[in-house]
Structure 1
Amino acid sequence: MTKKKYQVGYTTGVYDLFHIGHLNLLKKAKDQCEYLIVGVTIDELVSYKNKEAIIPFEERLEIVKQISYVDAVVPQVNMNKMEAWYQLDFDAVFVGDDWKGTSTWNQFEKEFSEVGVTIEYLPYTKGTSSTHLRKTLETLNRR
């Protein structure tokens, strides 16, 4: 068995309307680390995007727990990734490349570089997103 690049990896998401983009990100993250911890965003925090999860938190948590690439699942209770690092001690954070260059992630890059954590930007799956699925459902419901 080949040794992976990282020992412990961490990624987060809402994972509402679980789709192939979610699965691709989890697989690509697990391909790079021995142990993958996934933070699933609690319902109260989803509102930071001015949205409401369609699938309740406990169900989203259970869905992610059942994914073979995932070793542990934790609630994501805030957006503070450094706080998560203090609790979980990961050496890599995985995030979609659509976040690269944003002020938030530029700041995370500075903070994580000081503690030896690497941010890996993974390719965003084109053509599918929870936002796109939500809009499609709204359109179908209007018929």
Structure 2
Amino acid sequence: MRIIVSGCFDIIHPGHIHLLKEAAEIGDVIVIIARDSTIERYKNERPIIPEQQRLEVIKSIKYVTDAFLGSEGNGDHGYLQFALTLKPDIIFLGPNQRTSVKYLKKGLEKYNSEHVQVRRLDKLYDKFELHSSSAIKEKIKNQSKKKNKRT
């Protein structure tokens, strides 16, 4: 089975690894990395790690069969188009991904690909305090503020 996973993968953390591992238990994992411009448009900030570096890191993870940069500037629509060219059996979403299952299913129907399943991982992997890129960034900001106050 071919499993498509997409995301920013800005600062790799245990939640990312958990998502990729869960997907790999189902089949071959193909990752679509969000472009820097897409992240900036949707999150209103540039990623910390540039897209080519994020791509290289993701490709090196043992659960990943292959990875590609997503479409420039198309958001969810581009993601859907790109995923369909890869002919997946499953599109596998993270628990906190903004992409709507309903939107994807509707798009799949439009392109006569109703056979592609859309699944979402049930819950966040929160075994550790720093289980998201946002939590890691926040901790860095707070530590930086504390350090600046001391100097």
Give, in whole Å, the separation in 2 of the partners of 1:75 and 1:121: 21
> Which position in structure 2 is the counterpart of 1:38?
31
Amino acid at match of 1:111: G
> Which position in structure 1 is the counterpart of 2:124?
124
Task: Specify which structure has the higher proportion of strand.
Answer: 1
State the percentage of identical aligned residues: 26
> Which position in structure 2 is the counterpart of 1:139?
142
Amino acid at match of 2:84: Y
- TM-score, length basis structure 1: 0.85
> Which position in structure 2 is the counterpart of 1:91?
89
Alignment counterpart, residue 46 of structure 2, candidates 52, 56, 62? 52
What root-mean-square deviation, in Å, do the aligned CA atoms of Structure 1 and Structure 2 show?
1.8
Are 2:101 and 2:119, in contact at CA under 8 Å, matched by a contact in 1?
A: no
- Cα deviation for residue 98 of structure 1 reads 3.3
Give, in whole Å, the separation in 2 of the partners of 1:119 and 1:22: 18
1:44-94 superposed Cα distances (whole Å, 9 cap, x missing partner): 111111121111111111100100110111101232233023311111011
Give, in whole Å, the separation in 1 of the partners of 2:99 and 2:66: 29
- Cα deviation for residue 103 of structure 1 reads 7.9
Give, in whole Å, the separation in 2 of the partners of 1:92 and 1:32: 9
- Which stretches in structure 1 are left out of the alignment for 5+ residues? 1-6
- Which stretches in structure 2 are left out of the alignment for 5+ residues? 147-151
